[in-house]
């Protein structure tokens, strides 16, 4: 499916509206295989208080399918501007009017691209836009879309003679359609979800049929799970004490988007590079290149740069992740949405992994990955980081403790297994909808249904702004203490049992510290 190549973030340096002096400088952001190029800011219309911004978004191996799973990948595009007089980076508002924005298919062979902008402000402005094929034809190939938008710059407190820097960002996302799905596989995974019967049978799966309230209780046909007495790690379900998942808690029935990959080094340093010194102090360790991680970050022209931008950023804590999510105007994803994006609408397979079978390869794929990468002569070679192809139709691939020739293993670049020739869902380790690296590489943090704080989450999106200390400040998101979150999946250093889609071994475990093994990804409710 995906092959990982270099992406770019275009930086318009010192755009003086009066003289329209545009000094174009390429600033490499290296996220995945998505690029933003040809950024142009027009001369402002000082009567209408608008200025046109145009750019091109390109990525490889895009898809849209009309048959099951009936979904597509997309680019989440958002913009930041810096007023040179203050030095601070701010989020740029996007007019939702169809008359203010346009898109064409550029050099793509696939026609009819679409812009999807939500009225996030409630007053006609969005915090970003989804760019994707509108479905007139099935799609499987490289795409390049030209976007034009009219910026109402006074909405963002800018006047016509301000000197500005503007940056355009793009993140690869995957659309998860609305529809009923099952919680639990019918197996015996730790603390798995099931439909309660008489207390002796835990193999009936529970079907989510809407976004209505769900009661977790030990009564016939209700959702339940057995925490084995480990309330803190697995949740507060108890016989005789029902709890409710509210209607506004995102359950996965309604459509949403999910990041295609874990947070990468290239993405995270782009975030850090827009922060003030006080914000950076809370969002980045002093020793961010710890030898135990694969972080390879240096300072180039006063900003952070990663030489392995396609590799997950090591040692992110919950507070770091949600600050980044808020800054992107996205949101955390719930553990119910997690089971939906893994299993999809398919019938459950007992003990299944996210790729839809209950088998996983344990053959050693790689060894001494850190020295391998350090010995490579160029970034291009690092992007070609490869592992032994052990793919087949049933044994899925994931980076966990059994597949490294090293004692400790290490994190691999995102999308590693999709680089196989003729890769399929199992061999690429992809979910039902084509989302990558959910099972292994890094354990990930999700919103839990296992305690009151988690169940209070309403799915509100970030607004592109974080507080002066560098923290997320969105209503009803779990705080920096990470209460209300939990872990799913496994890491390169941990066992494969944790990768099973319905394993909830640590689904409510409060994990607030930085770790070599933990990361996450964001999502967004679809319009």
Span 56-68, pLDDT tens digits: 999 988 999 999 9
pLDDT in tens, 41-55: 998 999 999 999 999
Report percent pLDDT > 90 for the chain.
Answer: 73
Q: What is the pLDDT of residue 35?
A: 93
Break the chain down into helix, strand, coil percent, rounded to 5.
15, 30, 55
Return the minimum-mean-pLDDT range out of 36-50, 382-396, 403-417: 382-396
Considering 14-28, 354-368, 398-412, 479-493, the range whose residues carry the highest mean pLDDT is 479-493
Q: What is the pLDDT of residue 379?
A: 44
Model confidence at 389, in pLDDT bands (50, 70, 90)? Answer: low
Phi-psi region of 250 (alpha: psi -120 to 50; beta: other; left: phi over 0): beta
Tokens found for residue 221: 């046909």
Report the distance separating Cα 151 and Cα 78, nearest Å.
12
Residue 475 has pLDDT above 50, yes or no: yes
Q: What is the pTM of this model?
A: 0.92
Q: What is the pLDDT of residue 411?
A: 87
Q: What is the pLDDT of residue 106?
A: 76
Structural domain boundaries in the chain: 8-175, 256-522
224 with 486: CB under 8 angstroms? no
Q: Is 12 helix (H, G, I), strand (E, B) or coil?
A: strand
Distance of CA 29 to the CA centre of its chain: 16
Distances (CA, A) of 174 to 91, 121, 181, 306, 399: 23, 24, 18, 25, 21
414 with 4: CB under 8 angstroms? yes
Model confidence at 198, in pLDDT bands (50, 70, 90)? Answer: confident
- The bridge status of strand 8-16 relative to strand 21-28 is antiparallel
Distance of CA 517 to the CA centre of its chain: 17
Closest by CA to 145, choosing from 195, 109, 94, 173, is 109
Q: What is the pLDDT of residue 160?
A: 85
- The bridge status of strand 139-151 relative to strand 94-95 is unpaired
Model confidence at 366, in pLDDT bands (50, 70, 90)? Answer: low
Tokens found for residue 316: 């992110």
Q: What is the pLDDT of residue 299?
A: 94
Phi-psi region of 329 (alpha: psi -120 to 50; beta: other; left: phi over 0): left
pLDDT in tens, 76-97: 999 999 999 999 999 999 999 9
Return the minimum-mean-pLDDT range out of 3-12, 44-53, 244-253, 315-324: 3-12
Residue 288 has pLDDT above 60, yes or no: yes
In terms of residues, how long is the chain?
Answer: 527
Q: How many Cα atoms are found within 13 Å in the side-chain-facing hemisphere of 32?
A: 30
Average pLDDT, integer, range 315-330: 98
Report the distance separating Cα 186 and Cα 22, nearest Å.
60
Closest by CA to 344, choosing from 527, 503, 185, is 185
Q: What is the pLDDT of residue 255?
A: 98
Task: Answer yes or no: CATH 3.40.720 is held by domain 256-522.
Answer: no
pLDDT in tens, 230-267: 999 999 999 999 999 999 999 999 999 999 999 999 99
pLDDT in tens, 153-189: 999 999 988 999 999 999 999 999 999 999 999 999 9
Report the distance separating Cα 346 and Cα 340, nearest Å.
10
Tokens found for residue 92: 């740029």
- Give the residue carrying structure tokens 């730790």: 190
Return the minimum-mean-pLDDT range out of 22-36, 84-98, 257-271, 325-339: 22-36
Residue 125 has pLDDT above 70, yes or no: yes
Model confidence at 383, in pLDDT bands (50, 70, 90)? Answer: very low
| Torsion, CA 508, CA 514, CA 516, CA 517, rounded to 10 | 10
Q: What is the pLDDT of residue 391?
A: 58
Q: What is the pLDDT of residue 377?
A: 39
Distances (CA, A) of 267 to 115, 203, 492: 22, 41, 21
Model confidence at 368, in pLDDT bands (50, 70, 90)? Answer: low
Q: What is the pLDDT of residue 380?
A: 43
Q: What is the pLDDT of residue 18?
A: 35
Model confidence at 116, in pLDDT bands (50, 70, 90)? Answer: very high
Report the distance separating Cα 97 and Cα 75, nearest Å.
19
Task: Please give the full DSSP string across 33-98, using - where no structure is assigned.
Answer: SEEEEEEEEPPPBTTTTBEEEEEEEEEEEEEE-SSTT--BEEEEEEEEEEETTT--EEEPPEE--G
Question: Mean pLDDT score of the chain, rounded to an integer?
Answer: 88
Residue 369 sits at φ, ψ, to 5 deg, of -65, -35
Report the distance separating Cα 241 and Cα 260, nearest Å.
38
- Give the residue carrying structure tokens 């740029």: 92
């Amino acid at each position: 499916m995906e092959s990982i190549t270099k992406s770019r973030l275009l930086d318009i340096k010192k755009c003086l509206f009066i003289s329209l002096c545009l000094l174009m400088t390429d600033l490499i952001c290296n996220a995945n295989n998505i690029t933003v190029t040809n950024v142009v800011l027009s001369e402002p219309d000082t009567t209408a208080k608008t200025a046109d911004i145009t750019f091109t978004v390109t990525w490889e191996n895009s898809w849209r399918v009309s048959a099951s799973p009936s979904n597509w990948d997309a680019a989440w595009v958002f913009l930041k501007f810096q007023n040179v007089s203050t030095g601070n980076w701010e989020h740029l508002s996007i007019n939702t009017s169809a008359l203010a924005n346009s898109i064409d298919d550029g050099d793509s062979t696939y026609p009819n691209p679409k812009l999807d902008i939500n009225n996030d402000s409630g007053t006609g402005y969005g915090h970003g836009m989804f760019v994707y094929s509108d479905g007139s034809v099935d799609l499987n190939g490289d795409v390049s879309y030209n976007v034009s938008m009219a910026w109402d710059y006074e909405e963002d407190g800018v006047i016509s003679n301000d000197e500005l820097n503007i940056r355009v960002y793009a993140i690869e996302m995957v659309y998860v359609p609305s529809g009923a799905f099952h919680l639990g596989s019918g197996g015996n995974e730790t603390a798995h979800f099931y439909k309660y019967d008489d207390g002796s049978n835990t193999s009936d799966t529970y079907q989510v049929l809407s976004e209505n309230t769900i009661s977790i209780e030990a009564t016939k046909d209700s959702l339940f799970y057995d925490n084995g007495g480990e309330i803190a790690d697995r949740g507060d379900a108890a016989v005789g004490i029902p709890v409710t998942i509210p209607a506004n808690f995102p359950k996965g029935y309604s459509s949403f988007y999910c990041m295609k990959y874990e947070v990468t080094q290239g993405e995270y340093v782009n975030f850090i590079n827009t922060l003030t010194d006080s914000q950076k102090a809370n969002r980045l360790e002093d020793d961010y290149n710890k030898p135990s991680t694969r972080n390879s970050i240096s300072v180039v022209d006063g900003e952070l740069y990663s030489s392995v931008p396609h590799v997950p950023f090591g040692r992110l804590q919950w507070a770091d992740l949600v600050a980044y999510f808020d800054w992107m105007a996205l949101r955390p994803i719930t553990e119910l949405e997690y089971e939906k994006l893994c299993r999809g609408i398919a019938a459950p397979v007992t003990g299944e992994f996210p790729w839809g079978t209950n088998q996983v390869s344990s053959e050693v794929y790689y060894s001494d990955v850190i020295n391998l990468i350090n010995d490579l002569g160029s970034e291009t070679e690092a992007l070609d980081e490869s592992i032994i192809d052990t793919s087949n139709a049933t044994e899925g691939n994931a980076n966990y403790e059994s597949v490294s020739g090293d004692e400790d293993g290490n994190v691999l670049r995102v999308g590693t297994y999709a680089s196989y020739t003729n890769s399929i869902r199992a061999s690429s380790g992809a979910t039902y909808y084509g989302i990558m690296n959910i099972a292994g590489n890094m354990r990930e943090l999700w919103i839990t249904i296992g305690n009151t704080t988690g169940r209070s989450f309403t799915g509100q999106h970030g607004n592109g702004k974080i507080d002066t200390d560098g923290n997320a400040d969105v209503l009803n998101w779990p705080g920096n203490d990470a209460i209300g979150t939990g872990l799913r999946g496994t890491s390169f250093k941990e066992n494969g049992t944790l990768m099973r889609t319905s394993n909830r071994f640590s689904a409510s475990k409060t994990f607030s510290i930085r770790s070599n093994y933990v990361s996450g990804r964001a999502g967004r409710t679809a319009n």
